[in-house]
Chain A
Amino acid sequence: MAEQASALGSAATPSRRRVDTLAALLHEPKVIGGGGFILFLVLAALLAPLISPHDPLEQDLMSGALPPVGFAGAQAGFPIGTDDLGRDVLSRLIYGTRVALTVAFVAATLAAVLGTALGLLAGYFGKLTDGVISRLIEIWMAFPPVLLSILIVAIMGAGVASVITAIAIIDWTRFARVVRAETMAQAKADYVTAARVIGFSRFTILLREILPNIAPLLVALLTLEMGIAVIVEAILSFVGLSVSSDTPTWGGMIAQGRQTIYQAWWVFAAPLAALFATVLAFNQLGDGLRRALDPAMRR
């Protein structure tokens, strides 16, 4: 009984409970590491005009292809060198986080909303609804994603909006599949039966009983999808289908750096490293959130 009492003690008040969740999040090293890096990127994106040493578009052919600090021929004021047109790589990298993060947050959220809605419907209503949505998912996934995104961008025209649309339209299936399976599992649980016996409508059960229980999974999935979105945006930038070339993007920098890889490898390596670190951070954060938010795993 004493043990029960102490276990109950931890749930003293709702606000206390929220503090508990926060504490659990802060005890997860992956959340601290991954989340910290993402926070750092968000700040960099917001404060880009203040912290960038140069205008990312400013060309200076006299100081083209300068190497990073520490290499022979480096110039003060260009910490990771310049590209062949003399633009500051660090400044371009900082401005590049803007497109990368915008696409990551917006596209992943849209894909999550679309996929979750369809996954919930398919998983709970079953029968014809499930049949139609499941076939749609299968057809969708059989279609080559790069081709589909090129098609979408070709129709909508280049730009951040079309990149976001493309990612949301392609990747909703990831959410739909997982949410459908999880909804099916939850729908079999006795508490759903209990809610049916009380007489709640199916939508009430879906939104109030089932959705909150798949939320931790969704949060993790959403974070992973943000990492994927960053890569897809880079790929589309790489092939020149993202934003116009006067907006610095990591993918665009990689494409441009590839041409001068033997003369100025840092132009290629810097955005690649940023991309790698960002995706890793999103993945770590997602994994950490999944652990921290799952009440069963926490205890």
Chain B
Amino acid sequence: MSAELLRITHLSAVSRASRLPVLRDVSLEVGRAEVHGLVGESGAGKSTIAKAVLGILPQGISLTKGSIALGGRDLLALGSHERRRLLGAEVALIPQDPLTALNPGRRIEAQLTDGLVLWRGLSRRDAKRRALALLNEVQMREPERVLRAFPHELSGGMRQRVLIAAAFALEPTLIIADEPTTALDVTVQKQILRLIRAMQARHGTGVVFVTHDLGVVAQICDRATLLYMGKVMEEGSVEELLSSPHHPYTKALMAACPRYDRPGRGLEPIPEAVLAACRNEVAAFDGSLAND
């Protein structure tokens, strides 16, 4: 029980404009030092879950039910000030696009030390020393120079390393990684995944890893939750999920992955019958709610 870090229970959300459900009764648990994949296609609700945890849901989406507990404390029950304190110190974000996630007008040093000064009360000098250590830890070349640089002077991979360093700066217990490798090319992607995995293991940090790529899940995650239309389709350890998937959607998704060892076979779309079955499952769930 003490191994549990994040517990989301029966989380439901709707879009305010259309009143359509965005999340349907999502429950999942993330243990301490566990990398948990949130997998699904566009619009499956994986980013919505991540944003709900961080308390940065867009104005058009509201939570209707459920709870999000971090280390046993219900985030949704906290006042906004307390919640900010808890989240600021305990939860960090590795954003999707390293090109826009750094403020173009501020030096890397300022951006890396922000949180340290705000939450740890470090002096600017101590914060700088810590930032330098962090850059060394993410294997950045010439960290001294990087600290003085502006974001546009760094490559995409370097920026993503800076963002990873920033995420680990406050020694958070949970890191939300929102498709952190999508904007990078494949070779850099692999290095970044290894880096996140290594940092996470060293610091004992729990990670919620949002992705649409099963290959990435196989590389980095311990457990994963598969979503379709805001509903959990299948949940389990990655070995289990990838070697013996139960749900037809998982099977179809695996079959749809491009395989470079089988040239000549084109991409296989997910069969319409499987999608129809998933939609029926979702519709049946919505129907059961309506009957309540």
Q: Which of A7, A13, A197 contacts B93 (CB 8 A)?
A: A197
Contact B100 A11 (CB under 8 A): no
Chain A residues lying within 8 Å of B77, measured Cβ to Cβ, are: none
**Apart from A194-B101, A198-B88, A299-B152, 15 more pairs, CB < 8 Å:** A1-B141, A4-B154, A8-B146, A11-B150, A17-B148, A190-B96, A191-B101, A193-B93, A193-B101, A194-B95, A194-B163, A197-B87, A199-B85, A199-B119, A295-B104
Question: Is A142 in the interface zone, CB < 8 Å from B?
Answer: no
Chain A residues lying within 8 Å of B104, measured Cβ to Cβ, are: 191, 213, 295-296
Could you list 10 A-B pairs, sorted by A, with CB under 8 Å?
A4-B154, A8-B153, A190-B101, A191-B100, A194-B166, A197-B56, A197-B93, A199-B84, A199-B119, A213-B103
User: Complex: how many Å from CA A1 to CA B142?
Assistant: 11
Contact A195 B114 (CB under 8 A): yes
Closest to B114 in A: A198
Question: Is B97 in the interface zone, CB < 8 Å from A?
Answer: yes
Q: Which residue, of A1, A189, A200, has the highest number of chain B Cβ atoms within 10 A?
A: A189
Chain A residues lying within 8 Å of B111, measured Cβ to Cβ, are: 191
Question: Is A76 in the interface zone, CB < 8 Å from B?
Answer: no
User: Complex: how many Å from CA A213 to CA B105?
Assistant: 6
Q: Mark A181-210, 1 if CB is under 8 A from B, else 0.
A: 000000001110111111110000000110
Contact A8 B149 (CB under 8 A): yes
Restricting to B54-105, which residues have a CB under 8 Å from any CB of A?
Answer: 54, 56, 59, 84-85, 87-89, 91-93, 95-97, 100-105
Contact B95 A193 (CB under 8 A): yes
Shortest beta-carbon distance from A218 to chain B in Å: 12
Known: A197-B93, A198-B88. A11 touches B54 (CB 8 A): no
Contact B153 A11 (CB under 8 A): yes
Closest to A126 in B: B59
Question: Is A12 in the interface zone, CB < 8 Å from B?
Answer: yes
Contact A295 B150 (CB under 8 A): yes
6 interchain residue pairs of minimum CB distance: A199-B88, A190-B101, A212-B105, A191-B103, A8-B145, A190-B100
Question: Is A72 in the interface zone, CB < 8 Å from B?
Answer: no
The range of chain B's interface size is 35 or more
Question: Is B237 in the interface zone, CB < 8 Å from A?
Answer: no
Contact B114 A197 (CB under 8 A): no
Chain B residues lying within 8 Å of A190, measured Cβ to Cβ, are: 95-97, 100-101
User: Complex: how many Å from CA A299 to CA B158?
Assistant: 18
Closest to B155 in A: A4
By secondary structure, the A interface counts as helix
Q: Which of B97, B114, B155 contacts A200 (CB 8 A)?
A: B114
Shortest beta-carbon distance from A23 to chain B in Å: 16
Q: Which residue, of B54, B87, B119, B148, has the highest number of chain A Cβ atoms within 10 A?
A: B148
User: Complex: how many Å from CA A18 to CA B180?
Assistant: 33
Question: Is B118 in the interface zone, CB < 8 Å from A?
Answer: yes
Q: Mark B88-132, 1 if CB is under 8 A from A, else 0.
A: 110111011100111111100001001100110000000000000
Contact B153 A10 (CB under 8 A): yes
User: Complex: how many Å from CA A89 to CA B11?
Assistant: 79
Q: Which residue, of B87, B100, B103, B155, has the highest number of chain A Cβ atoms within 10 A?
A: B103
Chain B residues lying within 8 Å of A197, measured Cβ to Cβ, are: 54, 56, 87-88, 91-93
Chain B residues lying within 8 Å of A11, measured Cβ to Cβ, are: 145, 148-150, 153
Closest to B91 in A: A197
Chain B residues lying within 8 Å of A17, measured Cβ to Cβ, are: 148
Closest to A14 in B: B148
Restricting to B205-261, which residues have a CB under 8 Å from any CB of A?
Answer: none
Shortest beta-carbon distance from B111 to chain A in Å: 8
Question: Is A139 in the interface zone, CB < 8 Å from B?
Answer: no
Known: A11-B153, A190-B96, A197-B92. A209 touches B103 (CB 8 A): yes
Contact B145 A12 (CB under 8 A): yes
Closest to B153 in A: A7
User: Complex: how many Å from CA A197 to CA B92?
Assistant: 7
Known: A5-B142, A8-B145, A8-B153. A193 touches B97 (CB 8 A): no
Shortest beta-carbon distance from A91 to chain B in Å: 46
User: Complex: how many Å from CA A14 to CA B108?
Assistant: 12
Closest to B103 in A: A191
Q: Which of A8, A13, A14 contacts B142 (CB 8 A)?
A: A8
